[in-house]
Structure 1
Amino acid sequence: MAKNKDNNEVVGISEILETFGKFQKLQYFYCCLSVLFATMIMINYVFVAGDINYRCQVPECDGSNPVYSATWWPNATLDRCYKPILNHTVSSGSCTNNSFTSHVEKCSSWVYESNDTIIAELNLACQPWKASLIGTVHNLGMMLTMPMGGWLSDRFGRKPITVISAVGSFLGILKIFTYTYYPYIALELMEAVISGGVYMSAMVLMVEITGTKARILPGVLFAYSVYLGEAVYACIAMVVPYWKHLIMIICLPNVLFLSFIYIIRESPRWQIINGRIDEAKETLLIIAKTNKINVDTDILRKMNEATLKEAFNIRSYARKEGFADIIKSREMIKRIFATFLARFGTSFIYYGLVMNSVGLPGDKYWNFFMSAAASFPGELIAMYLMNRIGRKKPLIYGYLTCGALCFLCAVVPESKTWMKLALFLLGKLVVSACYTGMVTYTMELFPTSVRGSLCGVCTLAFGFGSMLAPLTPMLAIIFAPLPFIFFGCSATMAGLLIILTPETKGQPLLDTLEQVHASSSKNRTECTTNDNSAYIDDDNYKY
C-alpha cells in the first residue's frame, strides 16, 4: 500500500502513477523543452532558406563591389532572372538609367540584397524549386523517423530515444560549414531523421507517467511546446536574421540535453511490459519519493511481473489481429480512408500556412509569429468542443470553415493587408483545432488490437502532407492565390470524408475488429452511458 505524506491517505500501489506531483511536472518540463528545440529545428528552413531580393549582375556597370540598389538600374520593371542589354555605345563604368536597350537576356550571376539566407551563400537565385526542396527533404526525414522513432522507443525504451534524438539535433550545426547545395540538403535530411524521433518518444513518455484523470494534459502541453517553439523561433529570427547565427542558436544548446541521461526517467509501464521488473520497481520508488507518497517498500519489492501488470492494468490479447484482418473489413477500410486523407489534409494545410505566412503582406517575422500565436487558442477550442459536443460535428464544421477561410484568403487582394492577414490567422486557428481533434478522434476510431499500427499509417499520411507543404510557395509563382485554393480544397475534402465515420463521444473504446463490426450495425448517433467501465469518460480520457 501507499499513502500520501501530506494527508496520510492510504492508496494502492497502482496509485503511484495516478498521483500527479513534482515528478510529472519535472519530466513534462524536460520533455517539452526537447520538443521546443526540435520544433525550431524542424521549421528552421522557413527563414534559413527564405527568399531575399536579388537582381542580375551587369559586369560592365557593377564593377568589383556590386550593390543591390544600383542607381543606374533601368526604371522599367524587369524579371529578376533577366538582365537588361547594355547599349554598346556606352563606355564601361558610366552607366545610367538610360544606358540600356529595351531587350533582355537570361543572366548567370546575381547581386543579392543581403546574405541573411542560404539563397545568397549557396547562390540559389532563380531556382525556387531548390529552396522549396530543402523543406520537403526535411519533412521527408520527419516522415521516415516518426514511425521509426515509435518502433525504436518500443524496442529500446522511451528514455534512450528521447536522449539520442534531443542531443543528436546538435549535428545540424554542420550545415554552417557547407558551401554547396547538395551537401547542405543531405545534412538537412540527416538532421530531420535524428531530431524527429523526440516527437514520438517524448510524447509517449509523458503519457505513460500520467494518471488517468490527467491523461489529456500531456497532449495539450506537447502541442503548446510545438506552438511555443514556432513563436520563439520567429522572435529569434527577428533579432538574428543571419542564417548561420540562427542555426548556431537553435542547435548548440542541444548539447545540454546530455544531462537527460541523469534526470529523465524511463517509463515504468515500458519497463514492466518488457520484463525489467527490478528497474520498474526502482522507478516507482523514485516517483513515490519525489511526489511524497509513502510506499511499503517490502510489498513493492516482493511483487512479481504478473502482480505488477495486474496492479497497473497492463494486459495483452489472446489473439493478435493484423493488416490481413483489417483489409477484410469494409468498415475499417472506410475509417482508414477517411482518417488517412483527413490527417494528410491537416498537415498539408497547417504547415502550408506556416510556410506561406512569410509571403503575406507585411513583415515576414511578425506574420510568422502571429501565425504561431494563432494556434494556441485552437487547442483550447478543440478540447472544449470535443468534450462538450462530440468529435464528429466539430471536425466536420471545422474543416469546412477552414476551407471557406482559405478560399476567401485566395480571393482577397494583396492591397487589403489586414483583411487577408485576419482570414489567414483565423484559418490557422481553425486548422490547429482540427489538428488536435483529429489525433484524438483517430485513436478512438481504431480498436486497441490494431490501434498502434493504424496510427502509424496515419502518421505517414501526416508526414506526406508536411512534406508537400514546403512546395506550395512555388504555386504562387504560377498564380498567387493557388496555394490557398489547394488548402481550401484539402480542408473541404477532409470535412466531407469525416461524414463517413461514426461519432465516438460516449461510445465504447473498442478493443477488437469484431467489436467494430458489431458497433457499425447500430445507430451511430446513439450514446450509451450505462457501462462506465467500458466507456470513454471525456474528463478522464483513457487510451
Structure 2
Amino acid sequence: MEMKNVEDVVKVSIEEDLADLVSGFGRYQIWQCLLAIIPVICTALSNTNFVFAAAAIDYRCAVPQCEVKNASSATPAWWPANVTDVRCSRPLYAHNSTCNPEELEHAEECDQWIYATRDSVVNEFDLACHEWKRTLVGTVHNLGVLISMPLMGYISDRWGRRKAIGVSGICLGIGALKILAGTGQDGYITYILIEFLEAVLVTGTYTTCFVLIVELIGSDKRTIGSACVGISVAVGELILTFIVWNIPYWRHFLLLVASPAPIFLLYPYILEESMRWLLTNGRSGEAVMVLQKIASWNHFAVSDKVIDEITKKSKGAASRNIATEKFNVKLLFSSPALLKRVIVCSWWWFTAAFVYYGLMISSVALPGNKFTNFALSSLATIPGDVIAVITLDRLGRKKTLLGGFVFCGICCVSSGFIPQDYKTTSIAIFLIGKTSISACFNAVYVYTSELVPTSARGSLVGTCSMLARVGTVLAPLTPLLSEWWRALPTALFGCASLSAAALTLATPETLRRRLPDTVAEATAMA
C-alpha cells in the first residue's frame, strides 16, 4: 500500500494527521509489526504452558507388598473388584504377605501412588487425589492475567508502548524460576507463587502489542491488527505443542519457554515507540525522529514545513483534542441505553474468554493424542481470525458475532452427547466450536470499541477486558464438573455462548458508521 504524500496530510487535527501518516504496509510497518508480534508469540508460550505442566495424568494407589517391578498405572489383576476407587483407596488384606482379593479386610486412604508418567507437577508435588490443587494452578495463573491487563495498560499509557513490551518480554525469564521449586507441598506453593508473578508481569503484552500495531498501521485497519495478534497467539501455542511433544518433562520445557527473555534487552534499540503516543504526550521531537525513520524506510520525503506543523500541533494537542465531555460513572448510569450496552459487551468478553480458554484446556482430554488435539485446537484459531477479518467488513459486526456465538454454542452442547467411541466426530465438532469462538474473540475487540463513546472508550473497553479475565480464572476449574457429568463443562460453554448470541440482538450495527465521541452520540445509534 502506497504512503500518502506527506505534504497533503497536515490539515485538520493531529489525530487525522497520524492516521494518514502511519497507515499502510510499507517496509517500516512490516518490520515493526514483526517485532511487535514476536512478544505475542512468546507470551502465548508463557500463558498456556500450565495446560501441560499441570496436566491430568493417569495414576493409581500403590500397595507396596503387592507391586511388581516397573508396575504400570493400569489396574492389576489382584486388585479387589469391590474397591472401585483405584486412585485414592488402598486395599488392606487379612495377611499382609498375600494379595488375594478374597482376603480383603477393608480399604483405607492412599498415601503412595504409581503414575503413568512422571512428566507432570502432579507426581512431583504430591497432587494425586487432590484434583483441585492441580486445577488451581490454572486459576492462579489467570488471576495474575486479570491483574496484568490493567497494570500493563497503565505502564503502556504512562511510559510508552515500547517500555511496556520490553518489560513484559524480559519478565519471561521469571518462568524459569519455577524449575527451582522443590518437591512436595513446599515446592507446590513456590510453583504457584511464581506462576502468579509470571502471569502478572508477562501476559499484558497481548493488549499492548495490539494497541501498538493498530497505531502503527492505522485505526481504519483494526480488524487486521486484531487478526495479527490472534494468529500470533495460535503460532505460539503450536510452538509450545512442538516443544512439549519432544521435551515432555515440565522442568525442561519450562526452561526452553523462558529462554527468549534476553532477546527483549535489544527492544529499546530496535522497536520504535508509537508516534501517536509520542505526540499525545507532547514529545514532538521524538515523534519527528520516528517520522523521519518512516520516511527513510518507505522512501518519501518530509519537508521542514511538515515538521514545523506537526511540532506546532503537538504543543497545542492537549487543548485541541481533549473531549468536551468528561466521562464519569454517574454519566454512565444516567444513560440506561449505554449502561445496557456495557453490560452486554461485558458478557460477550466474559463468554469469549471463558469458552476459548475452557475449550483450550479441555482439548487435552479429548479422545486420542493430547498433543495432536492441542495443536489442532490452536490451529483452529487461525481460520477463526481470518473469518472474522472477512465477515466483519462484509456482513457486519453484529452478524459476525451472532453467528460465531450460535455456531459455538451448538457445537459445545452437541459435543457432550456424542459417544466417546466416535473420536473423529468429537474432535471435528470441537474444532468447529473453537474456530467459532476464536472469530468471536476477534470481533468483540472491534465491536466493543465502536459501541462506546470516545470520552469513555479506554475505561469501558478496559472494564470489559477485566471481566473477560474472570472467565479465564474460572475456565481451569471446569474440568472438575466432569466428575458429576462428562458433558457438563461443554454444556456450560454452550449455554454461555447461546446467551451471548441472544444479547447481540440488543445492540446496533456499527459497520461503516462514524465512531461516537459522546454518550449522546453513542445512545443515538439505533
What is the TM-score with the length of structure 2 in the denominator? Answer: 0.91
Distance 2:200 2:30 in 1: 28
Q: CA deviation at 1:342?
A: 1.5
Answer yes or no: is the 8 Å Cα contact 2:398–2:504 preserved in 1.
yes
Q: What SS does the aligned partner of 2:60 have?
A: strand
User: Quick one: which of 163, 176, 179 aligns to 1:173?
Assistant: 176
Q: 1:273 to 1:78 in 2, by over 3 A?
A: same
User: Quick one: which of 472, 475, 487 aligns to 2:478?
Assistant: 472
Is structure 2 residue 357 aligned with structure 1 residue 354? no
Q: What SS does the aligned partner of 1:39 have?
A: helix
The equivalent residue for 1:540 is: none
The equivalent residue for 1:205 is: 212
Q: What SS does the aligned partner of 2:429 have?
A: helix
Q: CA deviation at 1:100?
A: 5.4
The equivalent residue for 2:135 is: 132
Answer yes or no: is the 8 Å Cα contact 2:88–2:110 preserved in 1.
yes
Q: CA deviation at 1:398?
A: 2.3
Identity of aligned residues (%): 36
Answer yes or no: is the 8 Å Cα contact 1:16–1:293 preserved in 2.
no
Distance 1:324 1:273 in 2: 27
Is structure 2 residue 170 aligned with structure 1 residue 163? no
The equivalent residue for 2:431 is: 425
Which amino acid counterpart does residue 482 of structure 1 have in structure 2? L
Distance 1:461 1:82 in 2: 37
Q: CA deviation at 1:409?
A: 0.4
Answer yes or no: is the 8 Å Cα contact 1:72–1:96 preserved in 2.
no
Q: 1:397 to 1:313 in 2, by over 3 A?
A: farther
The equivalent residue for 1:41 is: 46
Answer yes or no: is the 8 Å Cα contact 1:406–1:484 preserved in 2.
yes
Q: CA deviation at 1:97?
A: 6.3
The equivalent residue for 2:13 is: none
Q: CA deviation at 1:99?
A: 7.5
Answer yes or no: is the 8 Å Cα contact 2:93–2:106 preserved in 1.
no
Q: CA deviation at 1:48?
A: 0.4
Answer yes or no: is the 8 Å Cα contact 1:20–1:211 preserved in 2.
no
Q: 1:214 to 1:182 in 2, by over 3 A?
A: same
The equivalent residue for 1:122 is: 125
Q: CA deviation at 1:80?
A: 3.2
Q: 1:314 to 1:410 in 2, by over 3 A?
A: farther
Answer yes or no: is the 8 Å Cα contact 2:380–2:434 preserved in 1.
yes
Q: What SS does the aligned partner of 1:129 have?
A: helix
Q: CA deviation at 1:96?
A: 5.2
Answer yes or no: is the 8 Å Cα contact 2:6–2:306 preserved in 1.
no
Q: What SS does the aligned partner of 1:111 have?
A: strand
Is structure 2 residue 63 aligned with structure 1 residue 58? yes
What does residue range 285-364 of structure 1 map to in structure 2 within 5 Å?
285-296=292-303, 298-303=304-309, 305-308=311-314, 315-364=321-370
Distance 2:410 2:75 in 1: 44
Q: What SS does the aligned partner of 1:444 have?
A: helix
1:42-97 deviations in Å (ceiling 9; x for gaps): 01110000011211122323489876468665274742333442433352xxx556
Answer yes or no: is the 8 Å Cα contact 2:172–2:260 preserved in 1.
no
1:207-226 deviations in Å (ceiling 9; x for gaps): 11213554432221111101
Answer yes or no: is the 8 Å Cα contact 1:72–1:97 preserved in 2.
no
Distance 1:232 1:437 in 2: 25
1:9-66 deviations in Å (ceiling 9; x for gaps): 9654645423431111111111111100101110111000001121112232348987
Q: What SS does the aligned partner of 2:217 have?
A: coil
Answer yes or no: is the 8 Å Cα contact 1:90–1:99 preserved in 2.
no
The equivalent residue for 1:20 is: 25
Q: What SS does the aligned partner of 1:105 have?
A: strand
The equivalent residue for 1:259 is: 266
The equivalent residue for 1:276 is: 283
Q: Structure 1: which 5+ runs fail to align?
A: 525-543
1:423-449 deviations in Å (ceiling 9; x for gaps): 111111111111111221111110111
Which amino acid counterpart does residue 288 of structure 1 have in structure 2? A
The equivalent residue for 1:462 is: 468
What is the TM-score with the length of structure 1 in the denominator? Answer: 0.89
Aligned length: 512
Q: What SS does the aligned partner of 2:321 have?
A: coil
Distance 1:512 1:461 in 2: 23
Q: 1:48 to 1:330 in 2, by over 3 A?
A: same
Is structure 2 residue 238 aligned with structure 1 residue 231? yes
Normalized per residue, the structure richer in helix is 2
What does residue range 479-518 of structure 1 map to in structure 2 within 5 Å?
479-518=485-524
